[in-house]
Structure 1
Amino acid sequence: MEHKKSLAFLPVGEKARVLSVENGGNMKRRLQDLGVIRDTEIGCVLDSISGDIKVYMIRGAYIAIRKSDAEQILLK
């Protein structure tokens, strides 16, 4: 059984691989277009002062994702 955790709780400097994207609709499609698909490695590189937005390295690009959206991305 795989251990699942949310991208929102990935500490700065850590990396993990995507297990799945739980939210549906337009946001899931946007995340997939940005490369957030199963087995993609994501690294957390910056946390905002407010804690609501983090910056992640995804396939060589820096992407800012809101905490509410990052909570829907499960990691293994």
Structure 2
Amino acid sequence: MLRSAAAAPSGEQPLGLADLPLRVDAWVSALRMDAAPQDGDVLLRLLEIGFLPGERVRVVARAFPAGDPLAVRVGRTTFALRRREAALVGVSTTAPVGEVQA
């Protein structure tokens, strides 16, 4: 289950950050609140480094050949996340109300 402060736009399919295509702007819509208990520390870390609802994100690179880890830009900072960690972040490719799409 994805938990968010704002509902995803109608008609848009939920998308995990791990599945976001390269160089596509998206916005954090939710974090998975039904994650396994051992993922609690990962969820907390994601929040602490800026994966908050409404924050702009982009996958900028994937490791070859398996695509793990991913280089993910959130705000003005780039982080390396494992696919398992990135899958805990729900994203929307539709900008939140008031956000200007570049």
TM, length-normalised to structure 1: 0.90
For 1:26, which of 41, 44, 47 is the aligned residue? Answer: 41
Report which stretch shifted further, 5-14 or 16-25: 16-25
- Alpha-carbon distance in 2 for matches of 1:67, 1:40: 19
The answer to whether 1:47 aligns with 2:62 is yes
RMSD: 1.3
Q: Percent identity?
A: 22
Alignment gaps of 5+ in structure 1: none
**Counterpart position of 1:13:** 23
Letter in 2 for 1:42: V
Report the structure number with the largest CA radius of gyration.
2
Q: What's the CA shift for 1:3?
A: 2.9
Task: List structure 1 runs of 4+ shifted beyond 2 angstroms.
Answer: none
Aligned positions, number:
76
Secondary structure, counterpart of 1:29 in structure 2 = helix
CA shift digits 1:18-66 (9 cap, x unpaired): 1111135111110011100101110111110031211011110110110
Is the strand fraction higher in 1 or 2? Answer: 1
Alignment gaps of 5+ in structure 2: 1-9, 93-102
